[in-house]
Amino acid sequence: MEKFEINIFGCGAALPTPRRLSSAQIVNIREKLFMLDCAEGTQMALRRSHLSFSHLQAIFLTHLHGDHTFGLLGMLSTFGLLGRIQDLHIYGPKDLQRIFQPQIDYFCADSPYKIFLHEIDTRTPQTIYEDRSVCISTLPLAHRVPCCGYLFSEKPTPRHIRRDMIDFYHIPISQINNIKAGMDWIDEDGTLIPNNRLTTPPDPVRSYAYCTDTTYRPQLAELLQGVTCLYHEATFTQEHALLAKKTYHSTAAQAAQIALDAHARQLVIGHFSSRYKSEDLLLQEAQQIFPQTLLAEDGMRITL
């Protein structure tokens, strides 16, 4: 299967520590890299990951709180110093340009590449990026400031050719793409060879959803039906459900409920409040509702 990997650089809440950065991830789809949020220290984590800086296509910011954006300027500046020349596109809510354009103009004035800031309306789901292999769309979230999650949906891949059958029926190379696309074959005797004799099914289509920061939003599950992997914030335990509501965050149980309702394959919880000495409480709370739950960790790599 083609590569579809999530690299978690940081999964802490507002206060970064030497042990845990705030929010930042890289989604690696066939060596194209997409960044989700960019907390302070992201450029160092990116270096540590040995992912190629130059393969970064775009950056998607969920919202403009510092624990999701304070690493942006330093990283953009470093890209310039390292001689990046490809354009870089940054997506984020309202105010993205007002807040970051003056900083970019000041600190990246000599950078040899162009940075494009795209403000998105976080209130309705929309497709904001598309290429041959992936479609990226927004997921409305409810936080104290405009905020959205992002859904990465792999595009269907062609069926796999059975080399032995192609040889057996002497099918010319010119027809291979049609066969991959599902076409049957009629041989010299006029016999129809059904496609499923010539091919095996395509790889299953995978998807990844990144949902942070948000209060519990039951309707989010509708947009996530069948998602392969869901990253959902779980800042608090149910004990602090009122605080979660007040600060527009979620509890581990609420994250699990979303995963359950969305029929997700896997849930990864993150954005842990630093009040918890161990996150095991959060994990147990989520697993009681949705057993296929993992705790995010800085440096974790998840292969879909």
Residues taking part in catalysis: 67
Per-residue binder mask for a copy of itself (CB under 8 A), 49-88, x = binder: ---------------xxxx--xx-xx--xx--xx------
Closest contact distance (angstroms) between CB of 284 and a copy of itself is 27
Residue with Cβ nearer a copy of itself (154 or 298): 298
The span from the CA of 89 to the CA of 41, in Å, is: 20
Residue with Cβ nearer a copy of itself (39 or 209): 39
Closest contact distance (angstroms) between CB of 301 and a copy of itself is 16
Among 54, 86, 101, 103, indicate the residue that binds a copy of itself (CB under 8 A).
Answer: 103
Q: Does 158 bind a copy of itself (CB under 8 A)?
A: no
Residues 6+ apart with CB under 8 A from 254: 216, 234, 241, 244
Residue with Cβ nearer a copy of itself (74 or 125): 74
The span from the CA of 209 to the CA of 139, in Å, is: 9
Amino acid at 300: M
Please work out the total of residues on this chain that contact a copy of itself, with binding judged by CB under 8 A. Answer: 30
In the 3-class helix/strand/coil scheme, how is 117-158 assigned residue by residue?
EEEECCCCCCEEEECCCEEEEEEECCCCCCCEEEEEEECCCC
- Beta-bridge mates of residue 236: 251
| Nearest alpha-carbon partner for 152 in 241, 223, 98 | 223
| 208: its two tokens | 């990844």
Q: Does 17 bind a copy of itself (CB under 8 A)?
A: yes
List the interface residues with a copy of itself, window 29-48 (CB under 8 A). Answer: 40-41, 43-45, 47-48
| 230: its two tokens | 């869901």
Residue with Cβ nearer a copy of itself (61 or 134): 61
Q: Does 140 bind a copy of itself (CB under 8 A)?
A: no
Closest contact distance (angstroms) between CB of 14 and a copy of itself is 6
